[in-house]
Amino acid sequence: MSTPEHAGQTWGAPPPPPRSPSGVPRASVELSLAPHAAPADEDHTEQVAGDMGPTGRPLRQIADPPLVAGHGPAKILAVCNQKGGVGKTTSTINLGAALTEFGRRVLLVDFDPQGALSVGLGVHPHQLDQTIYNVIMERNVAVDDVIMRTPVEGMDLLPSNIDLSAAEIQLVSEVGREHTLVRTLRPVIEHYDYVLVDCQPSLGLLTVNALAAADGVLIPLECEFFSLRGVALLIDTIEKVRERLNPKLEITGILATMYDPRTLHSREVMARVVEAFGDVVFDTVINRTVRFPETTVAGEPITSWAPRSAGAKAYRALAREVIAR
């Protein structure tokens, strides 16, 4: 069937990528987009306490938390879901930045060899001499020497790059292999109020390290049918880590992401998630918007790039909930 919109498009497999003169498919060349000006959009929709929220529960209005007198010891939150592309990295950056707006000091830990968290903050991970890999594998590298400042005041980054993929294998033969990350973070825990660990999309040894170090787990869940399927396995893993390695581990909350209020599908998935997990589901829901991919290009959080956008407001609301929990 060919409608005018589809004319000229192939409805099956995509065409092979064009080849460069060297014979390398162009698709493998690193994409470089010039960041364009931040949008002037403002979100005028004010959510009022008592209104029905997207979770089907009345919205609770949480007041801005009081400022803290001093900092630390940090609460460690692992941002975790073995499913890829559900908004772990986006939520880590933007929740972290929103927490700093409430006066909290935040350390973001890039615990994914893809280094997307580092990229999202404007760092070129492959150009780094030292990353979290060196801190966890080399006893003479201090965590303080690898932590970097970010453009967000009060938010630091422990970066990673592809080197970290070797750690997963090398750690297997280490003594106390599941507690490597918590040992790594111990010297700086007093300097921060929150440490957010961006996990890779797997339940391997790196993720188990993040869970063994954490006080809580934040689970981003894409509002899409298949995203529900892996959650039982994730919760099973969290329970095993709690029993065997880290009795203090809790599920801080489940965050519905990429919600599209216009589609019945999104609303149905949302209803199922709330039915299955109840109050563990945050009231805050993150809508699907192109603003988030744009912030990755800009290399900064949405809270500074489009401060009045609905996305920025949503991550601020999440920060209030996280502090209140």
Ligand X SMILES: Nc1ncnc2c1ncn2[C@@H]1O[C@H](COP(=O)(O)OP(=O)(O)OP(=O)(O)O)[C@@H](O)[C@H]1O
Can you give the binding site for ligand X, defined by CB under 6 A? 84-90, 112, 116, 201, 257-258, 286, 288-289, 292-293, 296
Answer yes or no whether residue 199 interacts with Mg ion by CB under 5 A.
no
Cβ 201 to ligand X, closest distance in Å?
3
Q: Which of the ranges 1-9, 72-80, 89-97, 256-264 carries the binding residues for Mg ion, by CB under 5 A?
A: 89-97
Q: How far apart are CA 325 and CA 313, in angstroms?
A: 19
* DSSP conformation letters of 247-279: TT-EEEEEEEEEE-TT-HHHHHHHHHHHHHHGG
Cβ proximity to ligand X, 188 vs 196, nearer residue: 196
Residue 187 contacts which entry, ligand X, Mg ion, none (Cβ below 5-8 A, type-dependent)? none
Residue 85 contacts which entry, ligand X, Mg ion, none (Cβ below 5-8 A, type-dependent)? ligand X
Number of residues counted as binding Mg ion (CB under 5 A): 3
Exposure of 101 in the CB half-sphere (CA atoms within 13 A): 20
From 164, 174, 173, 243, select the one nearest 207 (Cα to Cα).
164
Cβ proximity to ligand X, 188 vs 299, nearer residue: 299
Cβ proximity to ligand X, 188 vs 281, nearer residue: 281
Q: How far apart are CA 249 and CA 8, in angstroms?
A: 53
Let me know how many helices (H) and strands (E) the chain has, helices first.
12, 8
Answer yes or no whether residue 76 interacts with Mg ion by CB under 5 A.
no
x-or-dash pattern for Mg ion, window 31-70, by CB under 5 A?
Answer: ----------------------------------------
By DSSP bridging, strand 106-111 and strand 155-158 are parallel
Residue 246 contacts which entry, ligand X, Mg ion, none (Cβ below 5-8 A, type-dependent)? none
Cβ proximity to Mg ion, 274 vs 318, nearer residue: 318
Residue 87 contacts which entry, ligand X, Mg ion, none (Cβ below 5-8 A, type-dependent)? ligand X
CB neighbour burial string for 293-320, b if at least 16 within 10 angstroms, e if fewer = ebbbbbbbbbbbbbeebbbbbbbbbbbb
Residue 257 contacts which entry, ligand X, Mg ion, none (Cβ below 5-8 A, type-dependent)? ligand X
Binds Mg ion by CB under 5 A, chosen from 76, 77, 80, 88 = 88
Cβ proximity to ligand X, 54 vs 201, nearer residue: 201
From 269, 284, 258, 286, select the one nearest 226 (Cα to Cα).
269
Cβ proximity to ligand X, 89 vs 252, nearer residue: 89
For the beta carbon of residue 142, count every other beta carbon within 10 angstroms.
15
Q: How far apart are CA 185 and CA 314, in angstroms?
A: 29
Q: How far apart are CA 135 and CA 23, in angstroms?
A: 39
Q: Torsion-angle region of residue 275: left (phi > 0), alpha (psi -120 to 50) or beta?
A: alpha
Stretch 110-169 residues interacting with Mg ion (CB under 5 A) = 116
Q: Which residues bind Mg ion (CB under 5 A)?
A: 88-89, 116
